[in-house]
Structure 1
Amino acid sequence: MPYRHLFKALQWGLILFCLCFAMVGGTMAERLLELLQCQPHANPALRSCAWLPNALGLRLAPFLSAGGISDYPFVLLQNFWALIAVWMVALIATHRAARNAASTAALPDRGKTRYPGITGADAGRWASRAAFWVLLLGLAGFCMAFGTPILGNRVALEVLGALGCSPGTFDPFSSPCMSAPGFWTHRLAVYVIPLAGPLLAPVWLFMAFWDILLAWTLLTAAAYILQDHLSKRARRPAP
C-alpha cells in the first residue's frame, strides 16, 4: 500500500474511531464486550479470560456507566489516550513518508538516476534507526512511569486493575490475587505498600525490574551500534 493511501486509511480510521466512541460509546462498548465474552475485573488466578480481553474490557466498561454523549468524549480520552497517541504518531510518520516519496517522484530525470529507489541497505538502516529510537523512548517512558514517586504507585495500581486485581488499602497482600503467579503481581507488590510504596518508586524500579532494564538497555545499545555501523557503511565511498 502506498504511503499516501496508508495515511488516508489511518486518518479516516482515527476519525471514525473517535466519532463512534464519542457519540455512541455505550452501544459500541456493549457490542464489543459481547464479542469478547469476558467479564471485566475477573480474577486472573481463575483463568476466566485471557489478559488482553480483560484489559480491553476494563477500558470499555466505563462507557456503560457514562452519562451519555456529554460524557463519552471524556471517557474516550481517559481510557484510550495511549492508543490515540500511538495512532497520531503513526499518522505523522506516514505523512512524512508520503511527502518524502512525493518529493522524490518530483525530481528530474538526472536526479532520479543519481538517487535510485529504496534498497535493502536503506530499509535496514531506517529500520535499525527506528528500532533504536523506539527502544530508547520506550525505556525512558518506562522509567518515568515506574520510577517517579507517586506516579509509579498510580501506574502500578492501573496495571493491577487491568489484571483484575485490587490490593487492600492497609494490607495489600490481603487480596488473594496479589499472590497469584505471573509477571506483574510480585514485581508491583512493593509499589502498593502504604507510605513507602508511592515515595520510594525509584528504588522499587531497580529492585523489581532490574532484569527488564538490563535487557532493554542492551537491546537499545545493540540497535544503536547496528544503525551506526549501517550509517558508516552507507557513507563509505563505493570502490
Structure 2
Amino acid sequence: MTNKYMYFVANWKMFGNFKSLNQLDKVITFVKKFKKNKSKLIYCPPATLINAVSKKLKFTTIDVGAQNCHQGLNYGANTGQINSYMLKDAGAKYIILGHSENRQLGEDNNLINLKIRSSIKSGLKIIFCIGETLSQKRKKNTKKILSKQIIQGLKNVSNKRNIIIAYEPVWAIGSGLIPKETEIFDIVSFIKNKVKGSKVLYGGSVNTNNINLLKKIDNVDGFLIGGASQNSNNFIDIIKKTFI
C-alpha cells in the first residue's frame, strides 16, 4: 500500500483506433468514483488519436500525452513528421521522449536532447526514458549508461521541474521480466541523486501480476505502463492494487 502521489502513464505505442476510445469510458468512471485522489493518470495514444482522446477527457482529471516528436520547433519540409508544438496544439500536455524502442531506431542522446528542449519550449511536460540493455547490465555498466543518458539528454536544460524520468531497463520491456526490487530501489535512488528533485517512474513489463511487488519500492513515483494499459480493466486493476 502507498500513500504517495503516484503517476500512471499509459503508453499505447502503435495500437489503437477510434473504436479504442471506448476503453476510456471505464477509466473515466473509475477515476470519478476512486476515493484515492493522490494520483495522476496520463494517456499517451498514437498521434492520430491525441485530439480525440483530449476531447473525450476534457472534463476529467486525466491528461493526454504524445509518444515522440520531431526535434524542430518550426514548420518545415519534413514529410511525415510532427513537432512538439503541433502535438501541444492537438491537446497533448506531456510527451514521452527517449523510449528505447525509438533509441533502437537510431535516436541518440543528442537528438533526444534537441527533442526535449523543443518540447519544453512548446510547453509540454517531459517523460524522459532511460535504461540499459541486457549486455550493459551484465557488464555492470548500468549506472554508467544511465548517467550518460541523463547528462547528454538533459544538456542545456536548466529548469528540470517539468521533467519526469522513467527508468525502463531495455531487457525488461515486453519480456515479462523485471529487476529485483532492491535493484530498482538502488537505480531510482541513483537517478534522484543525479537529477535533484526529480520524479522517477518505473517501466518495463508492468502488469497486474507484478504490481504488488513493484508498489513496495517506496522511492518509485509511479509507473510507465505499455501493453497492460491498452485494456481498461488491467489498467484500473494496476491502479487499484497500487493503493491497496
Which bracket does the TM-score occupy, shorter chain normalised?
A: under 0.3
Kindly indicate which of the two structures has a greater share of residues assigned to helix. Answer: 1
Q: How does the TM-score come out when normalised to structure 2?
A: 0.23
The structure whose Rg is larger is 1
Kindly indicate which of the two structures has a greater share of residues assigned to strand. Answer: 2
Q: How does the TM-score come out when normalised to structure 1?
A: 0.24
